[in-house]
Structure 1
Amino acid sequence: MIDYRKATVPVWTLATGDVQVPALAGDGPMTAERLGELRGVLAVLADAPIATLEAHPLPAQLDRSRGIPLDAVSPLAQHLSQLVAEAARNSSVAAKATAGGENLYQLVVPAKFAAQFGRGVVCSMGSKAVAGGIRGPLVDSATGKIVAGATFMPVGKAAAAGAAGGAGATAGAAASGAAALTVAAPLVLMAVAVGVSAHADRMRQQAIEHITELLEQLHEEKLDDEHSALDGCRDAIDKATAILLDRGTVGISLGLDSAVHAINTALGAADRRLARWRSALDKLPPGEPVEVGALAKSFPGIDEEGGRFRTQLELASLAVALKRRVIVLQAVEHAQSDPGNPFEAFTRVLKRDQQRLDDLESGIARVLVRLSALEPARPNGLRPVFTPGEVDRLLRATHRIHRLADGVTVDGRPGDVAIEIARDRDGSVVVFPAVPV
């Protein structure tokens, strides 16, 4: 276990534009609580996104399979290397902490700006978020244990008065204004893009695992075909991601157009199913128990361990996860075409298309909450007494229905988003999924 309690952790304050806010960081060390407060204040005072970047020791045990690897010549790796090199020349704290070349960097984007990335990233979704490995800024990535109490030290010399709280340290230079912020915008853009993409791919992996298990029990050919069509999109999306993150151009030969068509078709099916589910719930008598058999007609398999309804839920999750990756690709491509203003271009593209996904996820979440609140009734029949087996089936069905809303968040408050980047000696990096702090 890494003991951060005795460590001095360098922290950069990154701005994505030439913003002017009061200098708040100062030159002395600060606690984790103070750093969190600083992020919040800067987010309120600045119009452009403000983020913080911390440099922690690289854990000996780190599951790199969860992240997206980028080589040393990729834009993100180069921007990070430039930042570290400049900071090391101007700060003994940064030089000492990054001397080995191996570090775990954590970029934290305040909630005010993280909300622009979509509800599916910034709000914890119960077990899915836990499986994704949510970690706070003072958690050992190898063990998952909280190691609070690190000392944070602002890195680099201050820029012109008030540039992002002394965040001329963004580039580790004493230059003023926009010149000191030139490294930050593309660094934050690429880190957010890769982190969001990795998060969406993590959600895709989880959905695939659930769908495969459910379909093995269900033997439903139409749903199996839908699953195959969506799963077949991964290759084109992975290749397009790799090309764009290396500043290449996505061509027709990748097959991304056909992948997008398959994803949009699946999202259309999810929208239609959601409309049917809402209609079925609206027709139920309010406040009265509902017979499980009647409920299963509109929600097939809801009283079973698997079932068509649960498979359809996972297919919707898979389509959303894939679409989020495609949206990030489109945003990065658009932002790179306007490098002078990358973050605004990036968030503009994200916001336009993410709203549909957010609405779909919110709608499904509300359906699950409404279903979980229902009171299942015993089957209607002439017999006044039911067998123990029938009673057991009713109890199991009731338990499964009530658990439908476990881990579901409806319109949760957005929180700070953390993106961790493991950097090796050769300058290559692995970017882990963006998660709520």
Structure 2
Amino acid sequence: MTDDRKGLVPVWTLATGDVRLPVLSEDGPMTAERLHELRGALAALADEPIATLEVHPLPDKLDRGRGIPLDAASPLAQHLSQLITQSARNSSAASTSVAGEGLYRMVIPAKLAAQVGQGCLRSMQAKGAASAIRGAIVDSSGRIAGGATFVPVGQVATAGAVGGAGATAGVAVGGSAMLTVAAPLVLMAVAVGMSAHADGKRQQAIEHITEMLEQLQEQELEQEHSTLDGCRDAIDKATAILLDQGRPGVSLGLDSAVHAINSALGAVDRRLAKWQSALDKLPEGQAVDLGTLTKSFPGIDDHGGILCAHLQLATLAIALKRRVVILQAVEHAQDDPNNLFESFTRVLKRDQQRLDALESSLAGVLVRLSTLELARPHGLRPVFTTAEVDRLMRAAHRIRLLGEGVVGDSRPADVAIDIARGDDGSVVVFPALPVSA
């Protein structure tokens, strides 16, 4: 959603550790383009991850159901409130703009986004629109600032150990006066935004699976779906506890949920290996008989067939696993307060790479299938029935469509995490989404 009021937008530069940088900040207002250039320079030169935080007026219409709500007592809400309060005391740019409710946009540069799992932060397509992106905040260009100008928020003097679990913000030693250290705030925002994004992918998969299974009436697939969907309750509870800096116990059932998700991912690996083997056996450069193809890929010629159900179950398992990985990364980071963000990114990267590779392999299968040419039906008759021709044409069309949803460009992009803050200090964190420059 674009802010057409063309007002001044306060912006903080947030570091996740104590860093030394050349003076890159602006003394006066900046354009959106100049802010993007500054973010890129800071990301390239900083020893620790750098993010920016902007504050915009809260849109009149906002679909809060897409985000994860946190009350005013949650660590993320408290870190944000303390940053706002302390900034208002020390900066005239912030004092008149950040009080009360507002829409806070944290932008993670591409370099940092790649560290925290770029595969998890791809756009989610809107239902019924092939090229649209799901997003309650951003417009088609990925911006909310419009013609607004950005004003750097000045030095923030706070107490607390920099980077520790109890820290809020501080000034980077020897660096720009506009650089604020706020590792816990960045950590929590990234964790909740990524978790909300993964849950959005889960909801999309559930919608498709439910519709397909009603038509297929496959009991084994229904059981697999029910087992995976039953993991959500434990993951939601564990997320709430960890984001309150607690420790999830055995009673939550998270161990059982992780086992079910890992078992489902094992099934995905087995199906993927069979699909890759079947494709490798096809004669290269030759048309393929539809009957031969359906033996290895049952339902490939049907809308919402078994192949589609298997692919959506894979999407569901991967989305749930991504949420679990984020939980594990947050837990490890909070166990080491002096190494908070580094611990988070290290743990997250290890498992995210496996999930990214799995998604890439599934995408590769879909692309290979979409490029196949179907052979004409074999038979003794010189002509074919209308039904045979129609089936072949429908199958060819559906096979070509398999490659449409594949994300071809995996280059890192800046990522935005929108946080709606109410007058009472409570927040709603929306899914992390890539944005254009």
> Do both proteins adopt the same fold according to a TM-score greater than 0.5, normalized to the shorter chain?
yes
> Secondary structure of the equivalent of 2:9?
strand
The answer to whether the 8 Å contact 1:236/1:254 transfers is: yes
Deviation, 1:96, is 1.3
Amino-acid identity (%):
71
Q: Deviations over 1:160-214 (max 9, x none)?
A: xxxxxxxxxx948698679997751000000000001000000000001110011
Deviates more, 1:306-315 or 1:4-13: 4-13
Query: Which structure's residues are more often helix, by fraction?
Result: 1
Distance 1:33 1:315, change over 3 A: same
| Residue in 2 that maps onto 1:115 | 114
The answer to whether the 8 Å contact 1:134/1:436 transfers is: no
Distance 1:178 1:26, change over 3 A: closer
Q: Deviations over 1:241-284 (max 9, x none)?
A: 01110111100000000000000000000001100000000001
The runs of 5 or more residues in structure 1 that have no matched partner are: 160-169
| Residue in 2 that maps onto 1:132 | 134
| Residue in 2 that maps onto 1:105 | 104
The answer to whether the 8 Å contact 1:157/1:174 transfers is: no
> Secondary structure of the equivalent of 2:417?
strand
> Secondary structure of the equivalent of 2:337?
coil
> Are residue 428 (structure 1) and residue 426 (structure 2) matched?
yes
- Aligned equivalents of 1:230 and 1:223: distance in 2? 11
> Secondary structure of the equivalent of 2:356?
helix
| Residue in 2 that maps onto 1:293 | 291
Letter in 1 for 2:380: L
Distance 1:111 1:2, change over 3 A: closer
| Residue in 1 that maps onto 2:274 | 276
Deviation, 1:154, is 0.5
- Aligned equivalents of 1:424 and 1:75: distance in 2? 15
Letter in 1 for 2:113: A
> How does the TM-score come out when normalised to structure 2?
0.91
Deviates more, 1:383-392 or 1:364-373: 383-392
Distance 1:370 1:65, change over 3 A: same
The runs of 5 or more residues in structure 2 that have no matched partner are: 158-167
- Aligned equivalents of 1:306 and 1:97: distance in 2? 50
Q: RMSD value over aligned CA atoms? A: 2.4
> Secondary structure of the equivalent of 1:396?
helix
Distance 1:113 1:8, change over 3 A: same
Letter in 2 for 1:86: Q
| Residue in 2 that maps onto 1:316 | 314
Distance 1:158 1:21, change over 3 A: farther
| Residue in 2 that maps onto 1:212 | 210
| Residue in 1 that maps onto 2:26 | 26
| Residue in 1 that maps onto 2:95 | 95
Letter in 2 for 1:430: V
| Residue in 1 that maps onto 2:373 | 375
The answer to whether the 8 Å contact 1:207/1:317 transfers is: yes
> Secondary structure of the equivalent of 1:24?
coil
| Residue in 2 that maps onto 1:162 | none
> Secondary structure of the equivalent of 2:299?
coil
> Secondary structure of the equivalent of 1:4?
coil
Deviation, 1:348, is 0.6
| Residue in 2 that maps onto 1:265 | 263
| Residue in 1 that maps onto 2:85 | 85
- Aligned equivalents of 1:343 and 1:130: distance in 2? 33
Letter in 1 for 2:89: R
